[in-house]
Amino acid sequence: MFSDFKRITIVGLGLIGGSMARALRAKGFKGSLYGVDHHKDHLQQALEDGIIDGTGYHPCDLIILAVPVGRYEAVMAQAAAYLAPEGIVTDVGSVKGKAHRLVEPFLNEGQTFVGGHPMIGSEKSGFSAAKTHLFENAYYFITPDTREEGVGKIKHLVEVLGAKPLLMAPDEHDRIVSRTSHIPQINAVAMVNMTLLGENSLIDYVGGGFRDTTRIASSNPRLWQDILMNNRDEILLGITDYIRLLNAMKDAIDVGDEAYILREFDKARHQREKIPKHLMGWIEQAFEIFLDVQDKPGMIAKATTVLADNGINIKDIEIVHARENIPGVLKLGFYNQEDQVRAQELMKTEDFTWKSSHHQSQ
């Protein structure tokens, strides 16, 4: 299954690199797996868990870059000397044109760079957040160079991880993700920061719709600083289109053009319904229920105790004060749909009322 590679070095054992390391072991990789990370705790945990065989750079036939694109040059300056004569470098960065331009000058004849970008993520970070199943059913862009053999090996690796490979030119990839990932992130940040405008913060009054729409604003700021700077041209073009659409809606509201407003909302609703439901995207699945608890002492403790007594682990817990579109005030998040369903049944027997939510979150 992994005959293509005998020795792999993953540079960066955070969420993505750590999940890839865990997935490789879980899928049966028997070769040598090395980790490089400036966070010593990431390396120590990976060693203790038996995920990696050693730390630092070693001779290898595959190097996986799982660090911000802005660090590629510094990493390759160290890592290139350890790559086998016919070795491959791949990455997981969300900007591909810049990645190719940074990595390829470090490669010798016979070596190749095959860009990669799994459309996955989480609000969590670090090796402690890494999950074996993170790549399952996720889109995984592959931006090849001219050597078909290297592309085939990375495509096979992606399939073994459980992801869905999509081959695409680097510049086309950057155009797509600028509009489907990067600008939505900018929009979420702007929406949250809009609650700070004026004399008083509005954050205490937001409802469920606002939380769902802006959840990705909790992502790592330095990661997104790197992405925006390295996909600058495509993001600027996308922002121009976005501003044009906002201005058109602003003008329609201003003049009372109800037909335009209805048409745009209807068009958006139909377009959103086309989003594939069988593939995971950049945002991780969330399994939640909302409990309508009585306003008396001990009710929250009662709910959590029932779950604990039945071996159900709670991933997230939140007291929801604003009740827009949800009937409860206590939100409980779980790691999988099985626990979500079991929690629903238990809450029924304890006379709680609830509403489930199975959606994408980050």
Look up residue 170 and give its two tokens. Answer: 């680097």
Residues recorded for the chain: 362
Direct distance between the N- and C-terminal alpha carbons of the chain, in angstroms, rounded to an integer: 32
Residues facing residue 113 across a β-bridge: 89
Look up residue 55 and give its two tokens. Answer: 């730390």
Mean pLDDT of 319-326: 46
CB–CB of 149/122 below 8 Å? no
Going by C-alpha positions, the residue among 106, 113, 123, 55 that lies closest to residue 87 is 113
pLDDT tens track for 333-358: 887 778 888 888 887 766 565 555 54
pTM (two decimals): 0.72
C-alpha 61 chain-centroid distance: 27
pLDDT tens track for 6-24: 999 999 999 999 999 999 9
Neighbour count for residue 104 (Cβ, 10 Å): 14
Residue 195's Cβ-count burial label (10 Å; 0-12, 13-18, 19+) is: middle
List the domains of the chain with CATH numbers: 7-168 (3.40.50.720), 172-272 (1.10.3660.10), 284-361 (3.30.70.260)
Rg, the chain, Cα only: 23
pLDDT tens track for 280-305: 444 445 677 777 655 566 767 778 88
pLDDT tens track for 24-71: 999 989 899 999 999 999 999 999 999 999 999 999 999 999 999 999
Q: Are strands 60-65 and 7-11 parallel, antiparallel or unpaired?
A: parallel
